[in-house]
Structure 1
Amino acid sequence: MTFPSNGRSRGDRAGREDTSRRSAYQDESRRAARERELSRRSRKSKGMPQEDGVTYRPQSSSNGGAHKRRVNMVTAIALVLAGVLIIRLGWVQVVWGPELSLNASEQRTRVYVDPARRGTIMDREGNQLAYTMQARSLTVSPNIMREELRTGTDLALRLAADETDPENVASYVTIEEGNEYVFASAEQRETILSDKVEERIQNIADRIPEIIKSHDQDVTGISSEEILDKLNADSQYEVLVRNVDPDVASEITDEMPSVAADHQDIRQYPNGAIGENIIGRISMDGEGQFGFEASNDSLLAGNNGRSTQDMSILGQAIPGTLRDQIPAIDGANVELTIDLDLQTYVQQALEQAKANSGAENASAVVLDAKTAEVLAMANTDTINPNEDTGKQIEQGKSFDNPSVTHPFEPGSVAKVITAAGVIQEGLSTPDEVLQVPGSIEMAGVSVRDAWEHGVVPYTTAGVFGKSSNVGTLMLAERLGEDKFAEYLERFGVGQSTGIELPSESQGLLPAREQWSGGTFANLPIGQGMSITTLQMAGIYQALANDGERIEPRIIKSVTDSDGTVLEQPEPDTVQVVSAEAARTTVDMFRSVTQVDPTGVQQGTAPDAAIEGYQISGKTGTAQKVDPNTGAYSNSQYWITFAGIAPADDPRFVVAIMLDEPERGVHGGGGQTAAPLFKDIATWLLNRDNIPLSAETEPIVLQAQ
């Protein structure tokens, strides 16, 4: 066997190794060449010196510089704009931010007021004198409404433009020119939008009266023209229609979201003019304007509720934004001491007496003798709030309450103060006989009786029964000025009674330090001072109540909205005279109504007598001051009467004033108010079934 030689094998391996080394060397040479070429190109592109010392300049150097400048410029502009935007954003956030935020909040925030219901006013038997009926006022914010209509109409038209209906598209996006549709300009689109908003506003103005009328509601005074004027007004709030039924208002607001139905209370006065001088009324804004409604407004009005909610630009409530809810607290219900039936009778009787007598006006007050509660307080020419008040005012009617606001000189009706003082001080007795002349001189002032007479032996009871000025001053002199002034104060002359009614007058009484001799010659006979009808009733109430004067009250009870009866302050009281002196004085003044066919023992007011009952009272005739001369007139008088029924068991006090009557209250002769007292007292005694009085011996007025 033959094997290859070892030499040949080594040669072959050496050849192969040499070939590998040559190949590696060539690859390395080629890499080095490529690297040198790349280096040369790089230096050339950068303008750097090459290995051979030659410097190559890039052929595109001018174009590259321009490009770089453009890039730099754009960058600078972008930075400036970014800076401006940042500054603007900061300005808006820091400087304008709070105001813009406030404006945005005001635009979307609505505050709703839930009015409290005004309390009911009732008489002592629960009869309604004034109550509240729910209604609605249709209101609008014209500026906001027009903006909302504009935004909503614009949105609706834009949405319509996306539909395929060509009529809707043509109405906003395009306009018709000839037989072709072309795109409208911005000005033309603005005109189209304005026309459609105006059309919608006109539709609202027309539809509101139409809907109200369709429900048989009175639309007197409601016109589309007036509503349209309000809708176009430059204001934030307008009342379109008042006193709309809630259901009708709801129908309108459902159809017209821009119109709001504000809660409104309609105050009802079911008895018309009866008691209106006491009750008064509220204004269109729901605030007390006259009478009890005004003086007790806070008690009756309650507290309104409130809530806040955000609204969308289309006037829709944004869910979940209702907040700050405060419930309304309704006003208190008040029960007055007034007796509606009695008030009606007295008021009608006064109106008839005024017509019969030709008096300028008249007033009357009826008090409960034991509590001083006002059972009736009436005046003539009281307005009916349910009728045209403007026309009534032109006719001389008013909301005033002269019984508490208009004082007058009482005349002889005030002589009871002198009588009570004399009896209390033990300076006389009812049956003491006084020799009364026809006139008397006091501090240089001569005072006469109303009739001519010589010296007459009048008893003290007779002095007042006959209404002798001279005899009264004789008794007043026994009291003296200081003591008489004290009794005036005790009886409340020159002081307000504190009645829960507005504008009460305290009357007029000269201060003690300002008295002259002539003052004391006038005051005991009821001149030189002024009192109201209510104060006059209060004087007699004190005597009817065993000498204790109680401040007259007109509120019987108050019940708040949750049914709690509120405790009322007790009226102030003054013990004017003793119970014995009061009863003696009341009994003595029965002489005024005493009847005697011969006239000798007859008082000045037999027309006030009521068969079967003892009646105590006093007439008054006070001269008015003539404004032209400043002296007392001989033709103009205030005629008064105040009395107690029945005298033996006092239940009622009635005070009456007639201003310048020409005849009697029944149209007959004389000018006395006594027959009107009889009418009122008889009605009361019969209605309440008051037992008849015991028979008594006649009172001696004139000694024989």
Structure 2
Amino acid sequence: MSAGRGRGIKTSEQLKTSPGDFIRRRNWLQFFGAIAVLILVFRLVWVQLLVGPDLSAAAQNQRTVEVVDAARRGAILDRNGSRLAFTMEARSITVHPASLRKLIDKKHELWPDEVPAYDERTQQIAKDLPKIIGVKDLDADKAGDKRRRQTTEAPEEPSVQEKPEGISSAEILKKLRDEESSYEVLVRNVDPDKAAAIVDKYPELVSERQDIRQYPNGATGANVIGKIGMDGVGQFGFEASRDSRLQGINGGKKIDIAQNGVAIPGSTRDVHPAVDGTSYELTLDLDMQYFVQQQLNQAKANSGAKDASAVVLDAKSGEVLAMAQADTANPNRDMGKEVEAGRTIANSAVSNPFEPGSVAKIITAAAAIEDGVTTPDEVLQVPGSIEMSGVTVRDAWQHDTEAFTTTGVFGKSSNVGTLMLAERLGQDRYAEMLHLFGLGQSTDIELPGESAGLVPQRPQWSGGTFANLPIGQGMAMTLLQMTGIYQTIANDGERIAPRIVRSTIASDGTKTAAPVPEPVRVVSPETATTVRAMFESVLQSDNSGEQSGTGAGNGIEGYRLTGKTGTAQKVDPETGAYSNSQYFITFAGIAPADDPRFVIGIMLDEPVRGVHGEGGQSAAPLFKDIAAWALNRYNVPLSAPREGKLLLQP
């Protein structure tokens, strides 16, 4: 038994480690230590030499911040320097709701007497913001707010708004407590000084720069000027067509930020200054634009028309002095609500072509005089109808064969007499004249959405094409193109493409005049003078009626005016044929006729009454109103009196 127990017990000699065992253990330790050192050395080499540059760059990127210095958007001015659109610096108050509770709770722990707890603090901010900014809390008195909106919604042309009209404290509180959101804008358009006061009192809020685009004239000229969106990009109008140059080029710099959020001294680099956007001086006359726009609003309401638009050009330069339409949207308001209210953001004068009707007869008159196929006083025997290539065309009034002078053909607006003269010209010559007058071609006026109109190409003319074109049907043109025809006649036969830009102003203040389009000779100065005199017959009045034109009674005492009325049948979309009840009513004229200063084109879409609410559907009274205002504003000298009357019917 004792021997067995003895085998389970080791003696002290047996417990002693032999030198060989010690050496083996030391060798193993050295081996594993060497492996560890090799791993560390490899890791160090890998970090320092292989991935070190990438890690260094990543660390650099984490602490590098690029600060953007936003360029200021260029202004848009009228021809007299009045501001049509400009940028005002303001602030947006923003917050990071996801981290707001943690920030407030930490401040509350450190300064419990000065910083309330989260719920109380957010409630305090929501209530205090409207007071500091100086606007109404929309939730404070909803009944009073309802009355306020009813009284302030009426003004048509609001002044520049430098701050929001009201703030909802409930909406602010909701944003502050939305802990799933990492970023919220509490209020926009805040005065910089008031924004500074807000963040001074509530450091958990952030004041961010916000450039506000101002349109101080409301809806006046908005169809031309356009509007930018919340992202600062032009949405329509001139703001869109010249967006890149108006925006300018943002500047900026790079700096390194330490862990405490403070910029590391000496780390600023890659500094490049902002280049503010180019400013534009347009050819528009703000006062004239306002007057014309108001006249169109009244004319549309009085006549019951679907639309009304007008263009006023400088007779010699082709510059657009006014380009207006009724019911233009106000860019200071919500565009969605403006459109819902029936207002428009389009510019129909350049984008909506239409058949001009008899206004286009001046092309036939100019070509006939230029080619010598007739004279103003030639007497034509004009039947009640004419057949051309199987198409029968009649005058607007029934009559047997009557004698009209060439002047009378246009003064009375005889379709038959016009086609008789067009036949003398021939189809090829007439097609050439359409091209010379710029029809079927874009004017390149630097406004978006311009239509080139529609003129059938000469090889595509069918039998009835030549029976329609000389009387203003079978082709479509924009109001700008239509007005441009008369500008050619006003400018002694030279067509100058209309333009809207007068000059550009660089960010350093350098002003550069816009290039003048190359003129196109259409007819001779003698022909243009003769045609202007002939078309004075349109506005001539005569007690007997025989020598009265289609626009009789719309002259201006002391001035000689010339122009042409137009009535164009619209195409019925259901039948595809010309309607007998739907019309474009047009007028284009020159004032004064003897020394042209202004060219005015007008289009009314389906009026049911006159522009003053009277009977008839002529646009001539509106031409008279606009011309009288323009002549008075620019102090245009009176015309030399004409001796006698023009002979329309012998």
Same fold at TM > 0.5: yes
C-alpha distance in structure 2 between counterparts of 1:153 and 1:232, whole Å? 19
Q: Which of 623, 629, 645 is the matching residue for 1:698?
A: 645
Structure 1 alignment gaps of length 5 or more: 1-57, 168-195
Does the 8 Å contact 2:130/2:167 carry over to 1?
A: no
Q: Which amino acid in structure 1 is aligned with residue 84 of structure 2?
A: L
- Taking structure 2 as the reference length, what is the TM-score of the superposition? 0.87
Gap change, CA 1:680 and 1:249, over 3 Å in 2: same
Secondary structure of 1:289 counterpart: strand
Q: Which residue of 2 aligns with 1:44?
A: none
Q: How far 1:240 moved relative to its partner?
A: 4.8
- 1:350-369 equivalence runs, <5 A: 350-369=296-315
1:556 aligned onto 2:502: yes
Which shifted more, 470-479 or 131-140? 131-140
Counterparts of 1:61-140 in structure 2, within 5 Å, are 62-93=17-48, 96-139=51-94
Question: Could you say if the C-alpha distance between residues 567 and 614 of structure 1 is closer, same or farther in structure 2, counting changes exceeding 3 Å?
Answer: closer
C-alpha contact (below 8 Å) 1:114/1:263 kept by paired residues: no
Which structure dedicates a bigger proportion of its chain to helix?
1
Secondary structure at 1:639 match in 2: strand
Question: Out of 425, 437, 449, which is 1:479 matched to?
Answer: 425
Take 2:260 and 2:440, find their aligned partners in 1: how far apart are those partners? 65
| Deviation larger for 298-307 or 103-112 | 103-112
2 CA distance for matches of 1:641 and 1:615?
13
Q: Does 1:224 align with 2:187?
A: no
1:517-596 → structure 2 map (5 Å cutoff): 517-596=463-542
Correspondence for 1:304: 250
Render the CA deviation track for 1:214-260: whole Å, top value 9, x for unaligned.
231545256334533676436xx665543222223334555666755
Give me the whole-angstrom Cα distance separating, in 2, the residues matched to 1:116 and 1:607: 55
SS in 1 for 2:410: helix
Q: CA deviation at 1:649?
A: 0.9
Q: Deviations over 1:62-111 (max 9, x none)?
A: 35444444433333332233333333344444665455334423321211
Q: Following the alignment from structure 1 to structure 2, what is the Cα–Cα distance between the partners of residues 101 and 631?
A: 76
Question: What is the CA–CA distance in structure 1 between the aligned matches of 2:448 and 2:518, rounded to whole Å?
Answer: 19
Quote the Cα distance in structure 1 between the aligned partners of 2:227 and 2:62: 37
CA distances 1:349-389 after superposition (whole Å, capped 9, x unpaired) = 00000000000011000011011111101011210112232
**TM, length-normalised to structure 1:** 0.81
Contact 1:464 1:589 in 2 (8 A): yes
Does the 8 Å contact 1:205/1:224 carry over to 2?
no
TM-superposition CA deviations, 1:468-525 (whole Å, max 9, x none): 0000000000110000001000111111111121111111111111001201000000
**Higher Cα radius of gyration:** 1
Q: Using the alignment, how far apart are the partners of 1:552 and 1:63 within structure 2?
A: 111
Q: Which residue type is aligned with residue 698 of structure 1? A: K
Per-residue CA deviations over 1:677-698 (Å, capped at 9, x if unaligned) read: 0110111112222222222220
CA contact (8 A) 1:115 1:263 kept: no
Q: Which piece of structure 1 moves more, 648-657 or 112-121? A: 112-121
Which structure 2 residues correspond to residues 219-298 of structure 1 after superposition, within 5 A? 220-221=167-168, 223-228=171-176, 232-233=180-181, 239-253=185-199, 260-298=206-244
* Cα distance between partner residues in 2 of 1:499 and 1:485: 24
Contact in 2 for aligned 1:204/1:256 (Cα 8 Å): no
SS at match of 1:607: coil
State the Cα deviation string for residues 168-219 of structure 1 (Å, max 9, x = none). xxxxxxxxxxxxxxxxxxxxxxxxxxxx9x9779957963773463231545
AA aligned to 1:504 is E
Give the % identical residues.
59
Take 1:59 and 1:430, find their aligned partners in 2: how far apart are those partners? Answer: 144
Determine whether 1:652 maps to 2:598: yes
Q: Equivalents in 1 of 2:379, 2:329: separation in Å?
A: 51
- Are the structure 2 counterparts of residues 458 and 59 from structure 1 closer, same or farther at C-alpha, using a change threshold of 3 Å? closer
Compare 422-431 and 289-298 and name the one that shifted more.
289-298
| Aligned mate of 2:627, from 681, 685, 692 | 681
**What is the Cα-based RMSD across aligned positions, in Å?**
2.9
Structure 1 residue 573: deviation in Å? Answer: 1.3
Alignment partners' CA distance in 1, 2:230 and 2:15: 90
**Cα distance change of structure 1 residues 434 and 331 upon mapping to structure 2, 3 Å threshold:** same
Work out the number of aligned pairs and report it. 606
Q: Give SS of 1:62's match.
A: coil
Kindly provide the amino acid, as one letter, of the partner of residue 379 in structure 1. Q
* Residue aligning to 1:214: 132
Distance 1:215 1:524 in 2: 64
Worse-matched range after superposition: 346-355 or 570-579: 570-579
| Cα separation, 2, equivalents of 1:86 and 1:320 | 35
CA contact (8 A) 2:364 2:470 kept: yes
Shift in Å at residue 134 of structure 1? Answer: 0.4
Q: Which SS does the other structure have where 1:74 is aligned? A: helix
Is this contact kept in 2: 1:257–1:315, CA < 8 A?
no
Cα contact 2:308–2:326 (8 A) shared by 1: yes
Shift of 1:422: 0.3
- Equivalent-residue separation in structure 2 for 1:212 and 1:331 (angstroms): 33
- Tell me if the contact between 2:276 and 2:507 (Cα under 8 Å) persists in the aligned partners: yes
Looking at structure 1, the residues matched to 31 and 533 of structure 2 have their Cα atoms a distance apart, in angstroms, of 114
Aligned to 1:442: 388
One-letter amino acid of the structure 2 residue matched with residue 559 of structure 1: I
| C-alpha contact 2:95 2:176 (8 A) present in aligned 1 | no
Equivalent position amino acid for 1:653 in 2: V
Alpha-carbon separation, structure 1, partners of 2:100 and 2:30: 47
Letter in 2 for 1:115: A
In the aligned structure 1, how far is the partner of 2:281 from the partner of 2:223?
16
1:139 and 1:309 map into 2 onto residues whose CA distance is: 23
